[in-house]
Amino acid sequence: MAKLRIVKMGDDTLRKVCRPVDAVTPRIVTLLDDMIETMREADGCGLAAPQVGVLRRIAVVEVEPGEVYELINPRIIAYAGEQREQEGCLSIPGRWGITKRPKHVTVRAMNRKGEIYEVSGSDLLARAFCHEIDHLDGKLFVDDLVEELDAE
């Protein structure tokens, strides 16, 4: 595994729409492993492929230690409720804000074995799913801030 360089805001890669993954190849599996290592080293709870310069629809999320969600071609298929909470991004270090996200979401994605699965999450997990899937469409959390917060 390798730690990857995280692309920062201002890099055009973060504003592009990612291409779907047609098949899970050994390169995709290596990318997943490297993204997980990079996310953990950066102390994040999610990372999307464009954040490491790869324009593919891939993201990883880990809000509880050891419980990693590998999301290939993810789509939100259901959502409910609303939450307004603090959010930040590994690609925008030092910037924080309050966002409005669904309280509960269900995501359909493919795993590293090429199997389609669904996962539901609430609160931070729902927010992380939404945040990372937004990255795959070239959207950043700062695009829809409800309130900007002072840097911590």
Q: Which tokens hold the place of 52?
A: 């490491």
CA distance 90 to 92: 5
Contact 91, 12 (CB under 8 A): no
Stretches in the chain below the pLDDT threshold 50: none
Residue 3 lies in a domain: no
Query: What does the pLDDT read at residue 127?
Result: 97
Query: What does the pLDDT read at residue 151?
Result: 62
Q: Is 82 exposed, middle or buried (0-12, 13-18, 19+ CB in 10 A)?
A: exposed
Q: Catalytic amino acids?
A: 132
Residue 104 lies in a domain: yes
Domain assignment of residue 45, given as a range: 12-149
* Model confidence, pTM: 0.95
Residue 6 lies in a domain: no
Query: What does the pLDDT read at residue 152?
Result: 54
For the chain, the domain total comes to 1
